[in-house]
Every structure is written in structure tokens, then in C-alpha cells.
Amino acid sequence: KQEVTQIPAALSVPEGENLVLNCSFTDSAIYNLQWFRQDPGKGLTSLLLIQSSQREQTSGRLNASLDKSSGRSTLYIAASQPGDSATYLCAVASNAGNNRKLIWGLGTSLAVNP
């Protein structure tokens, strides 16, 4: 059964720092991995999707990497800003059949202080 773990659970950094959020999963048979942002009480904003055949994806100040064999992904945020404060969720899609249900981590709660 797929399990997704994210560390750290919470992170507080001063503005401008580069930071790394970690996601690990127990079953390497994934189809893709998505990183999401969630603001308090709000919905899920997709940030990056990495296919299982890819090693990394970049969007602006965000870079996500994937090491499928070791069951790990990292989300790198460059030059963090107060507006980056949110919870960051990692979710993996199953490779079984055509059903790509997402299995989620609990998230990393990020606070970027001015």
C-alpha cells in the first residue's frame, strides 16, 4: 500500500532563503508525482507535475526533482518570499491500470518571515 511522507512538517525561514521540501513514497511504481500548494482553508493549487520518466521540472522559482528508484522527490524554492507562505503537498499517482488516484502526504507548512 502506497504511503507518502513529507518532512519537515513545518518550516519557518527568513525572506530570501533558498529551501528544500522533501517527499518520500514507499512504492516506486508511480505514474507521476504532483506538488500542490494549499493556503489555509482554501483549495489545492497545482505547482508542478513530474512524470515517472522525468528527473525534474521547473516553474519560475520552483524546481521539483524525482528519484523514483529511491522513492523521493524534493521541491526547491529559490529566494523565498512571504507570499510563499502556505502548506505544500506532495501526491503520487498510481501506475496500476488507468486509475490514477492520488495518494497524498500530510504536507509541509511553510512560513516565510519578512
Partner 1 sequence: EPEVTQTPSHQVTQMGQEVILRCVPISNHLYFYWYRQILGQKVEFLVSFYNNEISEKSEIFDDQFSVERPDGSNFTLKIRSTKLEDSAMYFCASSKTTGSYEQYFGPGTRLTVT
Looking at the Cβ atoms of 76 and 104, the one nearer to partner 1 is 104
* Contact yes or no for 75/6 (Cβ under 8 A): no
Looking at the Cβ atoms of 91 and 112, the one nearer to partner 1 is 91
Q: How far is the CB of 46 from partner 1 (least distance, A)?
A: 7
Cell for 59? 516553474
Q: How far is the CB of 78 from partner 1 (least distance, A)?
A: 23
Select from 17, 22, 104, 107 the least CA-distant residue to 61.
17
Rg (CA), the chain: 14
* Contact yes or no for 103/60 (Cβ under 8 A): no
The 75-114 contact track toward partner 1, x by CB under 8 A, reads --------------x-x-x----xxxxxxxxxx-------
Where does this chain touch partner 1 (CB under 8 A) — which range of 10-18, 39-47, 58-66, 69-77?
Answer: 39-47
